[in-house]
Chain A
Amino acid sequence: MTSDPLERTRAAKRTLERTAGPVSLTAPGREGGPIREPVFELRDVSVAYDGKPAVRGITMDIPRNQVTALIGPSGCGKSTLLRCLNRMNDLISGAEVSGSVLYHGEDLYGPGVDPVQVRKLIGMVFQKPNPFPKSIHDNVAFGPRVLGMPGDLDEIVERALRRAALWDEVKDRLGENAYGLSGGQQQRLCIARALAVEPDVILMDEPCSALDPISTARIEDLMLALKSRYSIVIVTHNMQQAARVSDRTAFLTVELDSQGEGRWGRIVEYDETERIFTNPADPRTEDYVTGKVG
């Protein structure tokens, strides 16, 4: 690999374009610079399941109203880290979270904090679409109904479905079973469901990995449209997707302990997406994004 940075940039651009289509490295809308108002501040966060560490020493700031991607090989703890952000790890018995996670300056794991309230503000979309076995309308209405949100339920449902770019396709069949929708539509339904409770942050755990390329493209467009209102953190296996949609990217990898027995995830590099994909500081990052490893 040549050490001329300009040549490396051009080579990276060629690699990306081969797989992701034309990429503008100075794309408008892609934000950079220091993070002024983080929505999350993680300091030395570690998660262990039944004593065995899964991630260690995660320190990063997640910016507001941007898309932040977590990439890395399987088993490096990306999903574990994501689930820390809305206290879903509380549901797993034996999971221990240490370190500090600040949400708009407030400690997310503080003594008086109710995880239920946390999840109202920080929503999640899962890898495999998981609509409830109810009608489309009831799927979206469930959240507002149990949370006692004021306002007309039908209006809330329509607004959420419009924001998720699904309204036109389902407006005539709101009473039908959600399982009658295609995979891509079901995932957009899950996004609408998450949007209906008016969160502040949306976490997405490999949202497109079970979908075809066209549905994937639509959901990526959706992410770019949503970031003006919400902060989005996405875990993805798909590097081209991270390059396409995210403003900042964190690359995690698995580290072995001194005896070679314990394995846990660490952040290798966390920077603006452009830099991660064209001029990464760490050779491990470069190997991963150019496809040499992982």
Chain B
Amino acid sequence: MTRGVTLAGRSRLAVAGARAAVRLERRPMRERLWGGAFALALYAALAIALLGLALLLLDAIADGSERFGLGLFTEKGSGFPERAGFQNAILGTLWVIGGVIVTCVPLGVGAAVYLEEFADRRRWWNRLIEINIQNLAAVPSIVYGILGLAFIVRGPLDLGFVPLAGSLTLALLVLPTVVIAAREAIRAVPPSIREGALALGATEWQTIRHQVLPVALPGIVTGVILAISRAIGETAPLLLVGAATFVTFNPASPLSEGYTVLPVQIFNYFTRAQDEYLALAAAGIVVMLVVLVAMNSFAIWLRNRYEQRW
């Protein structure tokens, strides 16, 4: 290779390079059209989903707007529609959902910790537990209602028609959701963190309590949020365990006889003849959504507060 290219030689090289270089063009028309169409289809899918939700909400607001007001939250159910509200149903829902959370979270997280940290997957009973949890998530909710009626309301627990019975029934229903979400969250914790803690001489429990669970917390809380969202709208199983369709008093405690929950109350109002009740029922839908959004927002705030920043 000779040293020193002449000036003429260098410009010949430069021109040749320029000709050979790929010109930066716009993407061909065909590709742009397909790309645009795909994006459009995605937006359309999103729009349809949101539109459906918005229409439902707007319809409910339109029908129920005449009844909006504090009365919805301060009045209890009543035979007189102008005096009826949702206070006892809201309180019933809060008691029932509160019971669900108190039952589900320790049981669900405990089961997930056992399955992920302690269970030897080669043992047949652990595989059986795993299969069953996934099956349970698919069982229709009315079956849980029958189960609750047989074993919780009557049968061994014999609680009677009380909010606690509703809580336990719903807890069984949503427990698989919490377990599965918690398992995924625990599984996502890198094994290097566990090894590091164990190598220091920490016990398994200390490792789980101080290293694994704090990191898995956001995922677990997400599972609980999903569980609450499902439980709050469940009507069929609660009908069987005593969420009577028409109650006019507030439940004083989880063990007081006779209670109702929002979906049941709404359902009841819808089936009545008078038109005033329809407006009330529509307002009830909005109330239920407000309660749901409030609960979920609180849970999301809780999750964000304790989320570890990596």
Contact = CB atoms under 8 A, between A and B. Distances in A.
Nearest to B215: A133
Given A123-B199, A179-B310, A146 B192 contact: no
Contacts of A134: 308
Contacts of A121: 201
Given A93-B122, A179-B310, A119 B198 contact: yes
22 contacts: A91-B195, A119-B201, A120-B201, A123-B200, A124-B199, A126-B195, A126-B196, A130-B195, A131-B196, A132-B193, A132-B197, A132-B211, A133-B308, A134-B308, A142-B197, A142-B202, A143-B201, A146-B206, A146-B210, A147-B201, A147-B202, A194-B199
A59 interface: no
Interface in B185-231: 190, 192-193, 195-203, 206, 210-211, 215
Contacts of A126: 192, 195-196, 199
**Most B CB within 10 A of own CB, among A86, A118, A119, A194:** A119
Interface in B110-126: 120, 122
Interface string B276-310: 00000000000000000000000000000000111
Contacts of B196: 126, 130-132, 190, 193
B185 to A, nearest CB: 14
Interface string A105-148: 00000000000111111011010101111100000001100110
Contacts of A91: 195, 198
Contact of B200 (A117, A133, A197): A197
A128 B310 CA distance: 17
B252 to A, nearest CB: 44
B202 A116 contact: yes
A133 B310 contact: yes
A116 B215 CA distance: 23
Contacts of B309: 177
Contacts of B198: 88, 91, 119
Given A91-B198, A126-B192, A130-B192, A116 B310 contact: no
A93 B192 CA distance: 16
A194 B201 CA distance: 10
B69 to A, nearest CB: 48
Contacts of B200: 119-120, 123, 142-143, 146-147, 193-194, 197
Given A120-B201, A128-B192, 15 more contacts: A86-B199, A116-B201, A116-B202, A118-B201, A119-B199, A126-B196, A133-B308, A133-B310, A134-B308, A142-B197, A142-B210, A143-B202, A146-B210, A147-B200, A197-B200
Contacts of A133: 193, 215, 308, 310
B249 to A, nearest CB: 50
A194 B203 CA distance: 15
B239 to A, nearest CB: 46
B229 to A, nearest CB: 29
B96 to A, nearest CB: 36
A216 to B, nearest CB: 20
B198 to A, nearest CB: 7
Contacts of A130: 190, 192-193, 195-196
A86 B195 CA distance: 12
A193 B122 CA distance: 34
A132 B198 CA distance: 12
A27 to B, nearest CB: 31
Cβ-closest 10 pairs across A and B: A120-B201, A130-B192, A124-B199, A143-B200, A119-B201, A130-B196, A146-B206, A146-B202, A133-B308, A116-B203
A205 B191 CA distance: 16
Contacts of A197: 200-201
A133 B196 CA distance: 12
Nearest to B190: A130
A86 B190 CA distance: 21
B251 to A, nearest CB: 43
Contacts of B190: 130
A278 B198 CA distance: 39
Interface in A167-191: 177, 179, 190
Nearest to A119: B201
Nearest to A86: B199
A128 B210 CA distance: 21
Contacts of B206: 146
A88 B195 contact: yes
A126 B192 CA distance: 9
A197 B197 CA distance: 12
B150 to A, nearest CB: 40
Contacts of A146: 200, 202-203, 206, 210
Contact of A93 (B120, B195, B203): B120
A147 B122 CA distance: 32
A92 to B, nearest CB: 11
Contacts of B203: 116, 146
Contacts of A142: 197, 200, 202, 210-211
Nearest to B192: A130
Contacts of A117: 201
